[in-house]
Every structure is written in C-alpha cells, then in structure tokens.
Amino acid sequence: MDRSVNIITDLDGSKIALINDIRFKSRKGVDWNEVERYLKEYIGEYFEISETSEKIYIGSDFPDEFSHSNDTKGLKGGNMRAKANITPAIVELIQIASEKSKYPDY
C-alpha cells in the first residue's frame, strides 16, 4: 500500500496522525466503493493500540460499514472528503487511540 502518514506529538503530548496524501479531491463527491476496495486490503489484519497493547482485528464487515453506513450517507462537503481521506491512516489511528470507552452492545 502506498501511504504517506506520520505520527507527530503536539505541545500537549497528544499524538496526531499527519496524512500527507489526499486521495479523494473531487468536488462532486466521493466514490465510496473505491474507499471500500481500499479498506478491504486490511481485512484479516491485527493492529495494536500503543497505550493499552490491545489488539484490534479488522473484520470483513469493516470496509462496508465504514463506507456505506447511515452516518456516511449523511456527510457532505469537507466532512465527506475528510472521512474518505483518513483511510490511508487507519493503522496509525488505531495505534495512537487513547481514552478507551465502553458502550453497551445494542
């Protein structure tokens, strides 16, 4: 995978994923099927959260849920492109995740 992502630390000590390549620049919209195809490359992989050493498994439902959820369908403009353009940084975002919360499974 061709990714250009760096993890940097801000003045407060928080880690930030800096994404250097913008894949989805269209003004008309995002091809969510293309986003889904990109995310399918991660299926079956495990990634570790640095803070807790917890392993995160990327299942086969992740690409479809990320690309075609009701929340995604409601996005417009910059928010839509921002969500699409974080796909190259999924691994780094998992690694720097912090402040784990638990929610009931409905």
Q: pLDDT higher for 46 or 18? A: 46
Residue 34 token pair: 């293309």
What digits encode the pLDDT tens for the residues 30-40?
889 999 999 99
Number of other residues whose CB lies within 10 A of the CB of residue 1:
8
The whole-angstrom separation of Cα 60 and Cα 71 is: 19
What digits encode the pLDDT tens for the residues 38-54?
999 999 999 999 888 99
pLDDT at 47: 94
Residue 47 token pair: 């990634």
Specify whether the CB–CB gap between 4 and 88 falls below 8 A.
yes
pLDDT at 2: 56
pTM confidence score: 0.78
How many secondary structure helices (H) and strands (E) does the chain include? 5, 4
